[in-house]
Amino acid sequence: MATPRTEAAEPRAVRWHRLAAGLGALALTACGGAGAASTAHSTAGSGAAPAAPGAKVVACSVLTPADAEPFLGGPVDQDARETGVPADADYASLCSYSAKADSGTLLMLHVFHHRSTSVARTDYSSARHMLSSARDVPDLGEAAFAGNLLGPTLYVLKGQFVITFDATRGAPDALRHVAARVVPRIA
């Protein structure tokens, strides 16, 4: 008979990745959809090239360990997920990193590719209105805002993409620095 799994017996990194799935579902809700996540672990390298226009953007191909390590303070563990797709999106992809040192800090990127720029703008605006702590962030994509949703969060609108960066803790400016490196890779 299997022993019931308790939070105390579950490694901290696993708990944080479960939190990532929950935050990803919350981001999906903010962007007008819902769905289950299925795990697909990845071992992406540290270099990232911009995605070709119209190509499917896999979150862990644009947010690399080299991007995450300065934010998390050292070597990282990675978890990649293809998420449930909102009805108005072509696809969604989630990538999360946690510090190998188990600091309890998690960094997540969620990329939503919508069927049109008008749908992306509508979903971005809806998410902005839902986050009472939202403040505009200049010089990222077409528009961006930051706030606090269980930790710092940053939403970016870029064409047909709504891109979210979330962390369990950390400075919003540090999250913006990560976004400034990653957003140009999404086309």
What is the C-alpha separation between 63 and 61, in angstroms, rounded? 6
Whether 95 maps to a domain, the answer reads yes
Place of tokens 């997540």: 108
Consecutive 10-residue averages of pLDDT for the chain (187 residues)? 39 38 43 35 43 71 93 86 62 88 84 92 94 93 93 95 92 91 94
Range of the domain at 69: 12-185
Question: The domain that contains 48 carries what CATH number?
Answer: 3.40.1000.20
Whether 2 maps to a domain, the answer reads no
- Name the token pair of 106: 């998690």
Whether 164 maps to a domain, the answer reads yes
pTM here is 0.72
Residue 55 has what pLDDT?
63
Q: How many domains does the chain have?
A: 1
Q: Which helix (H) or strand (E) holds 120?
A: helix 117-130
Residue 49 has what pLDDT?
53
Whether 74 maps to a domain, the answer reads yes
Place of tokens 């490694």: 11
